[in-house]
Homo-oligomer: A and B are copies of this chain.
Amino acid sequence: MHIVITGGAGFLGARLARTLLAQGRLSLAGAPARDIARITLVDRAAPPPDLAADARIAATIGDLNAQLADDGAAFWREADAVFHLAAAVSGECEADFDLGMRSNFAATHGLLDKLRALGTRPVLVFSSSLAVFGDSPEQPLPALIDDRTLPTPQTSYGIQKFIGEQLVADYTRKGFVQGRSVRLMTVSVRPGRPNGAASGFFSGMIREPLAGLRAACPVPEETPVAIASPARTIEGIVRAAEASDADWGPRTALNLPSLATTVGEMAAALERVAGTAATALLDRTPDATIRRIVKTWPGRFDTPRARALGLAADESFDAVIRAYVRENPDAVKLVIGA
């Protein structure tokens, strides 16, 4: 089996590739599991060294729109499954409208048209986002989001993701792909360097203090957030590829499970795990731009569809931080309590 991951050199793409390589096999849409022969990582950036060193990994480096236009590329045709994770992130899209329309809107449409033209009907997992939900004074979100809540995106990123969901649904209904859209929750703790996502601080406020660095905490303590750890997030993405049509249900995007917490509770968890030496490194300087985006996102979800698929939220943010510490020993400088 051949797999393509767009955004495959990014944090989630690389982690997905590692997970798939480790399990060695994958079931697609309820079919019996087959061996994974190759994973092609499509990204602007080169893959991390551990992946580049694996014989089953191929990498193709460049802009996704350009790669879709390259008729010589064989991997699209060979793909049994495509995980479409490549995207410009929320903060970038809000600052640069054209970037978002190109990287999210046009690229997702282009990918679907490419796969349709090939006629190979692969499984396509599209990573959407909780950012399709947006609170506004004219149309407040309900206190609890469920599987039938109307998305009213309040950012260009959210609109572009929601449009992607609609395209995936119709290309699936028409039989061009076997598409499933999953709405990712706020992923924390992301390792590595900050990106342009407005949600980036939800990871930075944990990751940087653990590394002994100062970090911004630019929104009020009571700000709600729907968190999923990297492990739970990848679990949801893989489950979307595996589920049979009957188990998956409607073509509407699936809200993945999340832990409902707040920025203040996250800081308290950091203090429980790493002491006041960690929380002393948090700069509570408000950032109006980030606040404006983040405050439109919902914090509490009820996700019966995901539950029925066997997906669960993280148990506590303390556990999420401890998992990060275990998985990233080189990035942690502070002494961690038992």
Which of A's residues lie within 8 Å of B, judged by CB?
A: 97, 136, 138-139, 148-154, 156, 159, 162-163, 166-167, 169-170, 173-174, 249-252
Give the nearest-CB partner of A158 in chain B: B170
User: A94: nearest residue on chain B (CB-CB)?
Assistant: B174
Query: With a CB–CB cut-off of 8 A, which chain B residues contact A138?
Result: 249-251
CA distance A249 to B241 in the complex (A): 39
Q: Does A97 contact B167, Cβ atoms closer than 8 Å?
A: no
Question: Does A250 contact B149, Cβ atoms closer than 8 Å?
Answer: no
Q: Return A45 CB to nearest CB of chain B, in Å.
A: 28
Number of this chain's copies in the assembly equals: 2
Tell whether A152 pairs with B252 under 8 Å between CB atoms, given A162-B166, A163-B166, A166-B159. yes
Is there an interface contact between A252 and B159, defined as CB atoms closer than 8 Å? no
Q: Do residues B249 and A139 form an inter-chain contact, with CB atoms below 8 A? A: yes
- The one of B150, B152, B170 in contact with A159, judged by C-beta atoms closer than 8 angstroms, is B170
Whether A156 and B139, one on each chain, are in contact in the complex, defined by CB atoms closer than 8 angstroms, is no
Set B156, B162, B170, B249: member contacting A174, Cβ < 8 A: B156
Query: Smallest distance from the beta carbon of A42 to chain B beta carbons, Å?
Result: 24
Among all A-B residue pairs, the 10 with the closest Cβ atoms:
A139-B250, A138-B250, A159-B170, A150-B150, A159-B166, A163-B163, A148-B150, A138-B249, A163-B166, A156-B170
Query: Whole-angstrom distance between the alpha carbons of A139 and B173 in the complex?
Result: 14
Q: How far is the CB of A217 from chain B (nearest CB, A)?
A: 27
Contact of B152 with A149 in the complex, beta carbons under 8 Å: no
List 29 interface pairs A-B (beta carbons < 8 Å), by A numbering: A97-B174, A136-B250, A138-B249, A138-B250, A138-B251, A139-B249, A139-B250, A148-B150, A149-B150, A150-B150, A150-B151, A150-B252, A152-B250, A152-B251, A152-B252, A153-B169, A153-B170, A154-B173, A156-B170, A156-B173, A156-B174, A159-B166, A159-B167, A159-B169, A159-B170, A162-B166, A163-B163, A163-B166, A163-B167
Contact across chains for A252 and B139 when beta carbons are under 8 A apart: yes
Contacts of A156 in B (CB 8 A): 170, 173-174
Question: Contacts of A167 on B, CB cut-off 8 Å?
Answer: 159, 163
Nearest B residue to A142 via CB reads B148
Instruction: Identify which of A138, A151, A163 gathers the most chain B CB atoms within 10 Å of its CB.
Output: A163
**Chain B hits for A148, CB < 8 A:** 150
A136 to B251, CA, bound (A): 10
User: A286 to nearest B CB, angstroms?
Assistant: 23
Other than A136-B250, A149-B150, A153-B169, give 5 A-B pairs with Cβ distance below 8 A: A150-B252, A152-B250, A152-B251, A153-B166, A163-B167
Cβ distance A330 to chain B, nearest Cβ, rounded Å:
41
Q: Which residues of B contact A136 (CB under 8 A)?
A: 250
Shortest CB-to-CB span from A200 to chain B, Å, is 22
Q: Give A137's nearest chain B residue, CB to CB.
A: B250
CA distance A167 to B164 in the complex (A): 12
Question: In the complex, how many angstroms separate the beta carbon of A22 from the nearest chain B beta carbon?
Answer: 33
